[in-house]
Amino acid sequence: MSKRITIHKLRRMKERGERIPMLTCYDYTSAKILDSLGFPLLLVGDSLGMVVHGQESTLGVTLEMMIHHCAAVSRGARSALIVIDLPFATYSASDLPLSLRTASQAIARGGAQAVKVEGGRRMAPVVGTLVASGIPVMGHIGLTPQSIHMIGGYRVQGRSEEAAERLVAAAQALEEAGAFAIVLELVPAPLAERISRMLTIPTIGIGAGPGCDGQVQVFHDIMGLDESFLPRHAKRYVNLAGAIREAAQKYLDEVREGDFPAAEHSVDFESLL
């Protein structure tokens, strides 16, 4: 069995200046493929609500949905460190016992090795409580989709000097609370680089420029599975939607025309003797 990537390995990667690639992952087959390539981090993100279940935002994702998908990923990935998002309203600084119960279920039933929580300084008590209980925590600041109604949409965060300083303070607070890494989402590149240099723990950027220690993208975005939308921060590496459509069309046509299945796809009595 392959040795699992640890949070300590990730910190050493930062110290050596090694970039840390991360992708979201939601199923067993994709996890096997990505794990075989050597991805050190896989994120079972609550983005699954949108890209897998067709919801309008991440707010409708439940803990049971997250655990269901994470368990599949954990069966497929044997080397990558698997991080699971704690979904909206399942953790809170005002209810630390709830936060611990949620995170404990995510780890025990989902098979993840770490959890991710959204929010800045107000999440420091949650991070501290989980870490003290033996649960590694990845922070997430900048654009936090679970707070989309509070921040007024999917927009770049930290653009003013005051807002930038709040993000710097948030990153420091999360590191001091024990977070092993922090996602920086839709943060101006110079600010993300400043935060990355300031911290001793890795930063993972998404729409935050090249100055972060690592990068994360949504699997469906970079694989071209949704042809209708591509975020500015994403790069489409292949058009899988087109390839799937072409293959499915061939199958559709061959079944309709009677060309599939052919003799080589069938079993006759002689082959059973």
Domain identity same for 228 and 206 = yes
Does residue 2 sit within a domain?
Answer: no
What SS3 string covers 166-226?
HHHHHHHHHHHHCCCEEEEECCCHHHHHHHHHHCCCCEEEECCCCCCCEEEECHHHHCCCC
Residue type at position 51: V
Domain identity same for 81 and 143 = yes
Which CATH number is 15's domain given? Answer: 3.20.20.60
CA-to-CA distance for 225 and 239, rounded, in angstroms? 7
Domain identity same for 98 and 63 = yes
Strands 20-24 and 81-85: unpaired
Domain identity same for 26 and 150 = yes
Q: Quick one: tokens of 133? A: 């209980």
* Res 267: pLDDT: 86
Domain identity same for 94 and 156 = yes
Count the neighbouring beta carbons within 10 Å of the beta carbon of residue 109.
16
Give the range of the structural domain holding residue 33, as residue numbers without chain letter: 7-238
Domain identity same for 271 and 150 = no
Count the neighbouring beta carbons within 10 Å of the beta carbon of residue 139.
29
Active site residues: 185
Domain identity same for 137 and 156 = yes
The total domain count for the chain is 2
Could you read off the pLDDT tens digit of each residue along the chain, which spans 273 residues? Answer: 469 999 999 999 999 999 999 999 999 999 999 999 999 999 999 999 999 999 999 999 999 999 999 999 999 999 999 999 999 999 999 999 999 999 999 999 999 999 999 999 999 999 999 999 999 999 999 999 999 888 877 889 999 999 999 999 999 999 999 999 999 999 999 999 999 999 999 999 999 999 999 999 999 999 999 988 899 999 999 999 999 999 999 999 999 999 999 989 988 866 666
Domain identity same for 161 and 259 = no
Domain identity same for 224 and 112 = yes
Residue 245 backbone phi and psi in degrees, to 5: -60, -45
